[in-house]
Homo-oligomer: A and B are copies of this chain.
Amino acid sequence: MQNELLDVAIIGGGPAALSAALNCRQRNKSVCVFGRSLDSSLLFAAEKVDNYLGMPDIGGEEMLNRFYAHAVKNGVEFKECRIRQILSMGDHYMINANNEFIGAKTIILAVGLNKSIGIPGEAEFLGKGVSHCATCDGMLYRGKKVVVVGENEEGEAEADFLADVCKEVIYIPLYQPVLNLKEGIAQKEGKPKAVVGKDGKVAALELADETISCDGIFFAKNTAPPESLLFGLETDGKNIVVNRKMETNLQGVYAAGDCTGTPYQIAKAVGEGLIAALSAAEEIDRRNRK
């Protein structure tokens, strides 16, 4: 990929992402799918699917494997990683893929169902003390006190990173066991109840039994809410807002699949992936004609 911009970066790894990628290749666009492994798709766990027209009575894992093979055969590239942040650079986007920055002309978000817990105050104070990415925002909390809430072991790396920067780091794991935390990080048990704000920014995290005062709260989640990926992205509840061309409110950014809302079905995801791909291809062709 070197320094050349990708035509299309696709975030996800389920049916919507794979259909989008396949159809970008059909339109002769360079494309990379940034996602977690195939088995993280909800489809992987489906015992049987019988309502995707033309593929009767098939297990979810086999279906995903066929989808993946179809995309690979057409030249789709994959990069297994968790994307936490996409930056707008004006006429293109930079994707932070485990701190490797990759540029793309257009983005298709196919990030699946937003299962973010979303405690009260979390969305309200996003960017005002709430963050989903330590390497993105950690420097803003230099010398300050932060809490890290980890839904999985990636939270430990977030906490470790922050320990080098912040005055005090408290780690609240929502899983077991915690394997590896830097010295000096305090660990607490408890279930977060609410983000407490004061003067328009974060002041504390409320647990069932106590309230921890802090300057920042980092949530390391299995699924980050899409608006935390891309600043200014319009959402409606937990869905990304799209029109019939799968355009979001941001120029050059499209969305497809479960992240745009119900029904959470393969045919819907595959159809929307196709449409998003064609819309992205059209946008790239339009710019190339200029």
How many Å from the CB of A255 to the closest CB on chain B? 12
How many Å from the CB of A197 to the closest CB on chain B? 34
Q: In chain B, what residue has the closest Cβ to A267?
A: B274
Cα separation A277 to B22 with both chains bound (whole Å): 26
Q: A164 contacts the other chain (Cβ, under 8 Å)?
A: no
Check A267–B268 contact: CB distance below 8 A.
no
Q: A244 contacts the other chain (Cβ, under 8 Å)?
A: yes
- A79 cross-chain contacts in B, Cβ below 8 A: none
Instruction: Identify the stretch in A45-53, A114-122, A165-173, A187-195 within 8 Å (CB) of chain B at 4 or more residues.
Output: A45-53
How many Å from the CB of A231 to the closest CB on chain B? 25
Instruction: Identify the stretch in A30-38, A66-74, A86-94, A211-219 within 8 Å (CB) of chain B at 4 or more residues.
Output: A66-74
For A70, give its contact among B54, B73, B265, B269 (CB under 8 Å). B54
Q: A200 contacts the other chain (Cβ, under 8 Å)?
A: no
For A74, give its contact among B50, B73, B274 (CB under 8 Å). B50
A26 with B53: in contact, given A265-B274, A273-B267 (CB under 8 Å)? no
Check B74–A54 contact: CB distance below 8 A.
no
Q: In chain B, what residue has the closest Cβ to A261?
A: B244
- A275 cross-chain contacts in B, Cβ below 8 A: 263, 268
Q: In chain B, what residue has the closest Cβ to A21?
A: B53
- A53 cross-chain contacts in B, Cβ below 8 A: 15, 18-19, 22, 67, 70-71, 270, 273
Cα separation A78 to B263 with both chains bound (whole Å): 26
Check B278–A274 contact: CB distance below 8 A.
no
How many Å from the CB of A271 to the closest CB on chain B? 2
For A274, give its contact among B19, B50, B51 (CB under 8 Å). B51
Interface residues of A in 46-66 (CB under 8 A from B): 50-56, 63, 66
Q: A272 contacts the other chain (Cβ, under 8 Å)?
A: yes
A73 with B56: in contact, given A267-B273, A270-B270, A273-B267 (CB under 8 Å)? yes
Which of A53, A268, A272 has its CB near the most chain B CB atoms (within 10 A)? A53
Q: List 29 A-B contacts (CB under 8 A).
A: A19-B53, A22-B51, A23-B51, A23-B267, A51-B274, A52-B54, A52-B270, A53-B270, A54-B63, A54-B66, A54-B67, A54-B70, A54-B270, A55-B55, A55-B70, A244-B261, A263-B274, A263-B278, A265-B274, A265-B278, A267-B273, A267-B274, A268-B271, A268-B275, A269-B271, A270-B271, A271-B271, A271-B272, A271-B274
A residues apposed to B, CB below 8 Å: 15, 18-19, 22-23, 26, 50-56, 63, 66-67, 69-71, 73-74, 244, 261, 263, 265, 267-275, 278
